[in-house]
Amino acid sequence: MSSVDASSTTVLVTGGSGFVGSHCVHQLLEQGYNVRTTIRSLKREDEIRKLVTPKADPSAASRLTVYAADLSSDDGWEKAIDGCDYVLHVASPFPVTQPKDANELIRPAVDGTLRVLKASLAKHVKRVVMTSSFVAVGYGHDNYDRVLDENDWSNPEGKNISPYGVSKTLAERAAWDFVEKNPGLEFTVMNPVGIFGPVLGAEAGRSLGTSMQIIERIVKGQLPAAPRMVFGVVDVRDLATLHIRAMHLPEAKGKRFLCISDNGEFVSIQEIGKALGHNVRTLPDWLVRGLAYISSDLKMVTFELGADKHATNKRTRETFGFTFKGWEESVKASADSLKELGLV
């Protein structure tokens, strides 16, 4: 990969207040890029600037511009993207509870993705790097006896897939269809598993993501037992680094990349608890399914029961020459940051 003059390169990161988006903005500023980010309301601009500005270089804030733009509306996107060389499309809300009507998630996910791609095409962006998810790869299958890779797609009509999984799958499918019809726009997709690692800040109004809520509850002793489910782990710092590298790497064009630590190892909540020095017992599957009728939290995880998945990060490691942090390092960094910020 040829060297890049960061000082003359402008990058838009959608959703700069989110867990992944804030780390992307933070790393880009550290590396000297001119950065833009979008948030729903400019009332939170000062809060976001404090969150993402590198402590070692406060002057980096002068290279950050914040725009108001919402994925549910066309307003603001062309203005935010105009003059950008690259777009990291990271913004994507994760539901606290699953809606009764899957279309409440599907339509906004698809439409929001297409808004960003259309504006990027209109403004001649060199490449868009989009954050999708492993839920667009590893769900709705009849069995999990094989190792999943980037050639796999979740089946939106399968039994063990949530409305969120359907929305992410259809949004990514729509993105690839758009790019196929508009070959002038280069496109790369990152498909991360559960995202852990340090939280940058504890500013008011920021809620912890699903993965970090698991860590919070374990550390606080509020999770004495959990369902029998496994998931992959990726460090948010690694994920941000891969997004930035994917902007420039020629070999990343037109490809999906699974982002998962430890060569694709999946771990349980019980194993994470043990790594953090806490004993988390296992809830029987029958009890989880029974309680799911009255608990929206448990209803979301019934899709995971009995699906012991296996995946590989070989393409990502070899394409980027990348070594992932181990999952234990990531979950411990999560817990440490929550303690340092006084959140637990």
Residue 339 is among the residues annotated as catalytic for this protein: no
User: Active-site residue among 79, 100, 123, 168?
Assistant: 168
The encoded tokens of residue 152 equal 């796999």
Q: Which residues, other chains included, contact 136 with Cβ-Cβ below 8 Å and sequence gap of 6+?
A: 153, 154, 165, 168, 169, 171, 172, 173, 191
Residues involved in catalysis: 168
